[in-house]
């Protein structure tokens, strides 16, 4: 324990961020780190609990409590406080392949379960993690580690999102030869095209990919297995295959007028901006632009917030974000005690920016789209919304939404973005390999296993468990790698 009274002596102090009106001028990350001494002070707040809930990573009432990677948080907080950063880095990398990703985009499940947060503010675990890993890169400690012995086994990983990258990295370090296939033009999957630069600058991904290449991992882009490359070819030249293609079927909104021009899925909108930004700094005008348009975002989650922040940067005329569910409480409810994940309302960066630009919160709760209104030439001009109330169903006892009569409202809209989540993997890749899907259209496996119904084919990540978090995807990739290693070698030391 770094400082026995640290949690009493020091207040939580977070990294500073650029003001909303300043940061919307570009697409860069906008947090500035604390000084070295301030960071040590924040590490000193860790209590080194006898039972560290922060690294538990278990489900409580359907929500994860603590880190799914079981990061050794108290250990590296203590090492960070004592300025033993190299040792802290070693402990961090024992459980997490890519702390540079999780320390930027993870919702900090660890902090939500921190014992300090029971009667005060939790430790800045996420920022401490970022400090350690960025020290590793800046000091040259993160460098290629080429396996001394190769097993002679070859694994094909289909998909280069966090699960695929974690599986590839783990198996390569074990001594197997790994080829990663990605259907897009850049490596990273969800990390590259699903998360905006403001949260994860793409140089961070490229930096890690270059290290993996130097360690022997082969990457092939524009490789759409099941379309331009037959699955049979992959199976013939591989001793094992891991499918990590994500949960990429977006949930649709089936309302009248859905065929109007100007309605897009959020993933396509965000991808178009990132790709144009990387290709030409948006000079090619090849992206879906919100400039000068009234925008409606359907969906109140992280992706919806990313759409809001991106639209503000485009220079939209207005933005409204619709959330079907009621507003969450500002503080934990009595039926949501610590260490459960707190179901509380948060105002994220995109909403902060919309408030700064337009003077009001863009979110409208208990609201859904009833109709898309279009012009004679089929262009979207407005959306008709309706308010909802939740009533108990007499048969099931569940709370179900019901439209409130007379609550219709027409909102001017030339661009509507559907950010209503995803409903499973795209079936063509599963069909190409002959793997079974379950009722949720995820790849079917036994509980706690990663092997499919097809010999030597495994699965990991959102394709396996459905839409989830980057940190869970990394854990999935690591665990799938372990099971694959046992299949190939008859044992594992992973």
The 10s digit of each residue's pLDDT in 328-363 is 999 999 999 999 999 999 999 999 999 999 999 999
Start-to-end C-alpha separation, the chain? 28
278: tokens are: 């990387």
pLDDT over 70, % of the chain: 100
d(CA 343, CA 319): 25
Residue 490: count of CB within 10 angstroms of its CB? 7
Q: What pLDDT, in 10s, does the model give residues 64-78?
A: 999 999 999 999 999
On whether the pTM is more than 0.85, the answer is yes
Q: What is the mean pLDDT of residues 31-40?
A: 96
Task: List the one residue out of 86, 59, 77 whose CA is nearest residue 2.
Answer: 77
d(CA 229, CA 182): 11
Strands 318-323 and 367-374: unpaired
Q: At what angle do helices 73-81 and 85-95 cross, to 10 degrees?
A: 170
Give the pLDDT band of residue 1 (cuts 50, 70, 90). low
Mean pLDDT of 105-113: 96
CB atoms within 10 A of CB 139: 11
Write the burial class of residue 405 (CB in 10 Å: 0-12 exposed, 13-18 middle, 19+ buried).
exposed
Instruction: State both tokens at 360.
Output: 């009001």
Residue 107 in this model has a pLDDT that exceeds 70: yes
What torsion, rounded to 10 degrees, do the Cα atoms 313, 262, 193, 303 define?
70
Quick: pLDDT tens for 116-147: 998 899 999 999 999 999 999 999 999 999 99
Does position 461 have pLDDT exceeding 80, yes or no? yes
Which one, of 364, 423, 421, 413, lies nearest residue 260 by Cα?
A: 413
Instruction: Give the separation between CA 382 and CA 369, rounded to whole angstroms.
Output: 10
pLDDT digits (tens, 9 = 90+) for 422-446: 988 999 999 999 999 999 899 999 9
- pLDDT tens figures, 361-392: 999 999 999 999 999 999 999 999 999 999 98
Banded pLDDT at 270 (limits 50, 70, 90): very high
Mean pLDDT value of segment 162-172: 98
Mean pLDDT (whole number) for 164-185: 98
pLDDT, average across residues 208-233: 97
Across the chain, mean pLDDT equals 96
464 vs 440, more confident: 464
Domains identified in the chain and CATH numbers? 6-138 (1.10.1060.10), 154-248+423-489 (3.50.50.60), 263-418 (3.50.50.60)
């Amino acid at each position: 324990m770094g400082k026995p009274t640290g949690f009493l002596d020091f207040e939580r102090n977070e990294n500073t961020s650029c003001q909303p009106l300043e940061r919307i001028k570009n697409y860069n990350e906008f947090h500035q780190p604390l000084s070295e001494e301030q960071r040590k002070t924040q590490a000193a707040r860790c209590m080194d609990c006898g039972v560290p809930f922060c690294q538990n990573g278990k489900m409580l009432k359907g929500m994860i409590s603590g880190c799914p990677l079981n990061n050794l948080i108290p250990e590296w907080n203590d090492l960070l406080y004592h300025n033993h950063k190299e040792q802290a880095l070693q402990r961090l990398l024992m459980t997490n392949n890519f702390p540079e990703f999780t320390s930027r985009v993870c919702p900090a499940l660890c902090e939500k379960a921190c014992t300090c947060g029971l009667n005060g503010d939790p430790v800045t675990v996420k920022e401490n993690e970022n400090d350690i890993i960025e020290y590793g890169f800046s000091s040259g400690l993160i460098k290629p580690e080429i396996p001394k012995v190769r097993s002679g086994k070859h694994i094909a990983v289909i998909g280069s999102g966090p699960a695929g990258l974690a599986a590839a990295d783990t198996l390569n370090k074990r001594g197997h030869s790994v080829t990663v296939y990605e259907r897009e033009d850049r490596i990273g999957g969800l990390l590259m095209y699903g998360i905006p630069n403001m949260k994860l600058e793409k140089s961070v991904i490229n930096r890690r990919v270059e290290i993996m290449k130097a360690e022997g991992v082969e990457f092939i882009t524009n490789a759409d297995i099941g379309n331009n490359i037959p699955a049979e070819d992959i199976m013939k030249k591989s001793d094992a295959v891991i499918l990590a293609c994500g949960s990429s079927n977006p949930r649709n909104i089936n309302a009248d007028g859905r065929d109007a021009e100007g309605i897009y899925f959020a993933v396509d909108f965000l991808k178009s901006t990132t790709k144009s930004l990387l290709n030409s700094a948006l000079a090619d005008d090849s992206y879906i632009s919100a400039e000068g348009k009234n925008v409606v975002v359907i969906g109140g989650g992280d992706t919806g917030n990313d759409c809001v922040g991106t639209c503000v940067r485009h220079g939209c005329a207005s933005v409204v974000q619709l959330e079907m569910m009621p507003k969450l409480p500002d503080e934990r409810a009595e039926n949501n005690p610590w260490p459960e994940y707190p179901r509380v309302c948060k105002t994220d960066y995109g909403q902060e920016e919309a408030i700064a630009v337009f003077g009001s919160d863009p979110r409208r709760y208990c609201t859904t789209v009833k109709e898309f209104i279009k012009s004679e030439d089929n262009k979207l001009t407005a959306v008709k919304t309706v308010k909802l109330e939740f009533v108990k169903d007499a048969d099931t006892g569940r709370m179900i939404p019901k439209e409130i009569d007379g609550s219709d409202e027409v909102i001017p809209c030339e661009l509507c973005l559907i950010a209503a989540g995803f409903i499973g993997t795209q079936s063509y890749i599963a069909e190409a390999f002959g793997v079974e899907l379950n009722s949720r259209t995820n790849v079917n496996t036994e509980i706690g296993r990663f092997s499919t119904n097809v010999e030597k084919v495994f699965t990991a990540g959102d394709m396996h468990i459905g839409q989830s978090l980057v940190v869970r995807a990394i854990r999935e990739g690591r665990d799938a790698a372990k099971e694959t290693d046992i299949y190939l070698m008859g044992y594992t030391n992973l």
